[in-house]
Every structure is written in structure tokens, then in C-alpha cells.
Structure 1
């Protein structure tokens, strides 16, 4: 009924109103905007690790040939361990001369170094350490990682969103009470950011030479925080 009354009262401006979109502002009351972060936790179920081979030889061809043979054994070991082909991706391939430096003399090439590494996704995090030990036994001499993440974070993100809305409402109640007002309703909700428990930002490859040890490698998944940040506007009255 109110909408109809407004249309009758101001017919001359109807065409202008149809052409201009104005922001929705409550007719009366105080608008409060708060930011709230909701969170939940999950045990990571995906580990990404880089494993590679470094070979050195007097000639470039010899370095590449040795590197290719050893890398073929590494990849074969991964497949025997049950790692799917879609979870194995070449990360880096390189060939560089090695130099000897002496005072007041130009550098001298002493040989060549070939490198090859693959990024491996382990969907059974508990087995990742055992598989890495097998890779070292097959010739892998560089390891980097693991980067732990959550494979399917949608349900966890929804939990974090629900938590964020509850936190925003609780915060709004505090502000309203302090101002002698009450929360009438939410005006708008927007998502300002999220962290789905993914891996940490990629860092420079800090490769380390690995030697097989008697003690098996263990990887502890721990827990990951899944967070969502909301910006919520409330109408106070």
C-alpha cells in the first residue's frame, strides 16, 4: 500500500526514477558497518612436494643423459607407489655450466650440472614420507616441501561463513547496546576475503641434498585454519 501511495503522490518523477539507480539507504535509523572473521579447522588431506635429481658430468650431454636415467627411475618409483599420473608434473628442467675461478684469470668451465624436478601431490598424506624415502633410494637427491592444503574446502568455508555472521551479529549487539540502541536488521553482507587452507605462498626453491637414513621420514599434517572475512551492515533503531 505504501508503494502504491508513493507512486500516486509523485507521478511526475516516475520516469526520472526509472532512469537513475540510487543506493538503498534506510529511511530512518543508524547504519552500523562491522567486519568479522569466521573460522573453522580441518586436517590437511593434500601434500605437495617437489623432488628432483641433480647430475654433474664433464660434458653437457653426459650430465643430461645421467639426469634423465635417474629421473626415469624416480618417476617409475612414484607410479609403483600408487601416485597417479595427474598428480605428477614436471616443475623445473635445467642445464648449466660449472666454473672454476682464479685470480686475474677468466673463468674456466669444469663441467655441467643438469637438474630436473617434479611436483608431486600426495592425497594420502600419511604415506608421503615413506614414498619420499623410496624416491631417495632411486636417485632423488633434492627435496622441497611439503606444502599442506585441503583438497575440497567448500564445506569448511561454509562453516566459516556461518561463524562470521554470528560474530558480526554479536559485535553489532555490543555497539548497539553501548549506543542505547538495538539491532533492527541486517542491511547487507559482503565477503571481503577467504583462506581455504591452501598451501603457503610459493617460496624460493631451497633444495637440500638428501641421503637415505635408517629412520623413516615422517610428515605430520597438523591442522589448517579455514577463514572467511565478512563486511556486514546493520540498521540500528
Structure 2
């Protein structure tokens, strides 16, 4: 009996596929960033590696102390790169040792998006000479993405219903197949612009774009 039911189910699905409509649903959501990550650091150079290290450590300690005075907590600061590299010049085809380069980059994560310019300027005044990226984000971006996905599916269903009603048919409410065509998209990193005054960094809006393809049957 069970085998008969399964066979009937397969036949019903096949019959439904004989009269189908394929549609694409899309959704775009805009969100205001509520979190930002700043990657910046200190680069020092010297022929003596210990001197380059010491200068770097002293400057970075001053930078961290300064941004903490602005309200940044210790757990919001993370070292993401620490590297010591020898550097060479090439003179008349020969490699000549120039010195050592010490790179220390930190990542600062903030929920106070409006403080970005102030923190960047304070850090630069205290010795930061490398600002690699400023990323604006939405902390609940996964939830927003799922909402956009649901809206895309609903739009696909509305399109299918309109098409089938136009030919005086009746749409089966449950789609035979749903396939996501695009993944969630985020804006590119915003370039950091340094200035003598408070750095004008605008978070803008983050865009979540989703599209799905759905196949519905009708009779």
C-alpha cells in the first residue's frame, strides 16, 4: 500500500510539472550600520630589529591608551597583524640589507559608529601611520537577510499568481521548487580619508539583495 501511495505521489508531481510557471522574485532591504571595524596600525623601521620593535611598542601603547580614553574598551581592541620583516635594496643587481620593518595592526570594533572619525584622528595624532580599512556592518545582518529572502519568495508567488490568473487558471500555493539565485551582498569597504580636522567618514546604508527562482504548478 505504501509503495502505491509513493507511486501516486510521484505521478502527481509529474502531472503538476506538466503545467508549470517559472518566476523570479527579488527583494532589497536597506539598513543603517550599527557596528564598525577599524583596522589601523604602526609601522616602524630601523637597522636594529630591537630598536624597531621598541619604537613600535612604545607608539602602539600610546595609541591604545589614547583611544581607550575616548571610551574604547580593552575587549574591543584586537591585534590582527604583528610582523617583523628584513628589508633589502637592490643596487647594481646585488641585494643590500637596509634594515627591519615592524608592522603592528589592530582591529577596533565599535557600536558607536559616529565616533569613527574622532578615533581615527586621535590615533593618527599619536602615531598611527597605517589605516587599512573601515568596515561598516549591521549586527543582525543574518536576520535581515532572512527577511529579504522571505520577501523574495513572496514576490515570486505573487508573480506566479498574477500570471496564472491572467489565463484563468488556479495556482497551487505550494511551489514545486525554489532556488536561490544570489547570496546576500554587502557594500565594499569604505576608504579611509585622513585630514587635519575630524575625518569625514560616512557609514551610508548597507544593502541586502536577494533573488530566488520558483516553479509553481497550476490547473
Please classify the TM superposition score into its range, dividing by the shorter chain length.
0.7 to 0.9
Match of 1:226 in 2: 208
SS class of match (1:75): helix
Residue 118 of structure 2 is aligned to residue 136 of structure 1: no
Task: Give the 3-state SS of the residue equivalent to 1:183 in structure 2.
Answer: coil
Q: How many residues align?
A: 215
CA distance in 2, matches of 1:16, 1:235: 23
Q: Which has the larger displacement, 68-77 or 47-56?
A: 68-77
Whole-Å Cα distance in 2 between the matches of residues 128 and 53 of structure 1?
Answer: 18
> How has the CA–CA distance of structure 1 residues 230 and 207 changed in structure 2, closer, same or farther, with 3 Å as cutoff?
closer
Provide the rounded CA distance (Å) in 2 between the counterparts of 1:23 and 1:55: 73
What does the per-residue CA deviation read over 1:44-99, in whole Å, with 9 as the maximum and x for residues that have no partner? 11121211001011211111111111111122223222223332221111112222
Q: Within 5 Å, which residues of 2 pair with 1:65-214?
A: 65-104=54-93, 106-176=94-164, 181-188=169-176, 190=178, 192=180, 193-195=182-184, 198=186, 200=188, 213-214=195-196
Aligned pair in 2 of structure 1 residues 189, 126: CA closer, same or farther (>3 Å)? farther
* TM-score normalised by the chain length of structure 1: 0.76
Asked whether the 8 Å contact 1:31–1:235 carries over to 2, the reply is yes
1:215 equivalent among 197, 203, 206 = 197
Using the TM superposition, name which of 67-76 and 168-177 deviates more: 168-177
CA distance in 1, matches of 2:187, 2:62: 28
Which ranges of structure 1 fall in alignment gaps of 5 or more residues?
1-10
Shift of 1:118: 0.9
TM-score (norm 2): 0.82
- The CA distance in 1 between the partners of 2:183 and 2:11, in whole Å, is 26
Question: In the alignment, what sits opposite 1:3?
Answer: none
SS in 1 for 2:66: helix
Asked if the contact 2:186/2:207 (under 8 Å) is kept, the reply is no
Q: CA deviation at 1:188?
A: 4.5
Q: CA RMSD in A?
A: 3.1
Q: Which runs of 5+ in 2 are unaligned?
A: none
2:209 paired with 1:235: no
Structure index of larger Rg: 1
Distance 2:57 2:33 in 1: 33
Deviates more, 1:107-116 or 1:24-33: 24-33
Structure 1 position 35, deviation (Å): 2.9
